[in-house]
Amino acid sequence: MKVARTVLVVDDDPEIHDLVQIMAAPNGWQVARADSGDGALENLKAGGYDVVLTDILMPGMNGLTLMNRIREVRPDSKVVVMTALNTPDHIIGSLRESAVGYLRKPFSRELLVETLEHAAASTMQADDIQVMSDRPNWIAVKVRCKLATADRLTQFFRELPGDLASDERDSVATAFRELLMNAIEHGGRLDPEQFVDLSYIRTSRSIVYYIRDPGNGFSMDKLPHAAISNTPDSPFRHTELRQKMGIRPGGFGLLLTKNFADELIYSGKGNEVVLIKYL
């Protein structure tokens, strides 16, 4: 029998409480309610929850301040933020306060439940993602070499290119995630003591991602385990090689990224890459 999980919803809009109840309860979530930051802290002093889902823009104490206060009351709380006003400041502020997930309103039932499930199952350290620069047109972070951290960061960075169409934003997010996963898995060798440097740079005409991993680099023409090296008559040859090498299924990252990016540039060593998407 599936154990029910609990989520504390913090929002001054009662319709959001009703919406989360309708969406999450059929998937085994028990929903508690607080209409302010102070109310949420009182609830948390009385007991813990699997996930706290908080709005950012609220009268009195906003969601970012609330997250900081939650660390004092229940430092092990897993917090997901939601907002209708999507800005780089909100995204970076949420990362600084160690938010596990990020939802832009309005959100679908599937996205809400998926985000809650991932948050409840997550294990993270406070410094898994370290913000090095928080300027809206230049955001830089250090990312611990854990695959779960890549998935977590992708949720936030997906929302940064606000003036792209939804399908383009999804494509760029997919390309970004694949590059970050490659950097963590192959460059950082999944060593949690290692970090990947990542920057999001916004110009008047483009969105640029720069990723640098701690590895020894690679040569693009020496990747037999990647789909990009397959010949037309053997489109899945790399999957057999990955199985023999004991590498997780996949290998389509570079191929997908080359299709989604307008430009993809690697350094001579191969441990640095720049992805460019023109606006």
Question: Tens of pLDDT along 92-125?
Answer: 999 999 999 999 999 999 999 999 999 999 988 8
User: pLDDT tens across 133-165, in order?
Assistant: 999 999 999 999 999 999 999 999 988 876 788
Of 106, 122, 138, the one marking the end of a domain is 122
**What is the enclosing helix (H) or strand (E) of 273?**
strand 272-278
Residue 39 near residue 10 (C-beta atoms within 8 A): yes
Please give the average per-residue pLDDT across 161-175, as a whole number. 84
Q: Is the confidence at residue 226, as pLDDT, over 60?
A: no
Q: What is the pLDDT of residue 217?
A: 86
Domain count, the chain: 2
Domain hosting 218: range is: 124-279
**How is the beta sheet containing 129-135 ordered, strand by strand?**
129-135, 138-144, 195-202, 206-212, 272-278, 263-266
pLDDT range class, residue 1, cuts 50, 70, 90: very low
Q: What is the pLDDT of residue 81?
A: 97
pLDDT range class, residue 233, cuts 50, 70, 90: low
pLDDT range class, residue 72, cuts 50, 70, 90: very high
User: pLDDT tens across 184-225, in order?
Assistant: 998 999 999 999 999 999 999 999 999 999 999 865 555 555
Pairing, β 272-278 against β 206-212? antiparallel
Q: What is the pLDDT of residue 238?
A: 47
Q: What is the pLDDT of residue 100?
A: 95
Of 122, 144, 175, the one marking the end of a domain is 122
Q: In terms of Cα–Cα distance, which of 46, 43, 51, 60 is closest to 27?
A: 51
Helix spans in the chain (H): 14-24, 37-46, 63-73, 88-96, 109-121, 147-157, 166-182, 237-245, 253-260
Average pLDDT over all residues of the chain = 88
Q: What is the pLDDT of residue 164?
A: 84
| Same domain (yes/no): 57, 149 | no
Domain with residue 101: its CATH number is 3.40.50.2300
Q: What is the DSSP string of 179-225?
A: HHHHIIIIISTT-TT-EEEEEEEE-SSEEEEEEE-SS----TT--TT
The pTM of this model reads: 0.84
Q: What is the pLDDT of residue 183?
A: 94
Of 122, 144, 164, the one marking the end of a domain is 122
| Same domain (yes/no): 99, 199 | no
User: pLDDT tens across 238-273, in order?
Assistant: 466 556 656 555 555 666 777 788 999 999 999 999
| Same domain (yes/no): 80, 206 | no
CA angle 41, 118, 76 (to 5 degrees): 35
Instruction: Give residues with Cβ within 8 angstroms of 98, minimum separation 6.
Output: 67, 71, 79, 124, 126, 129
pLDDT range class, residue 236, cuts 50, 70, 90: low
Report percent pLDDT > 70 for the chain.
Answer: 85
Residue 60 near residue 31 (C-beta atoms within 8 A): no
Q: Is the confidence at residue 66, as pLDDT, over 80?
A: yes
Domain with residue 166: its CATH number is 3.30.565.10
pLDDT range class, residue 91, cuts 50, 70, 90: very high
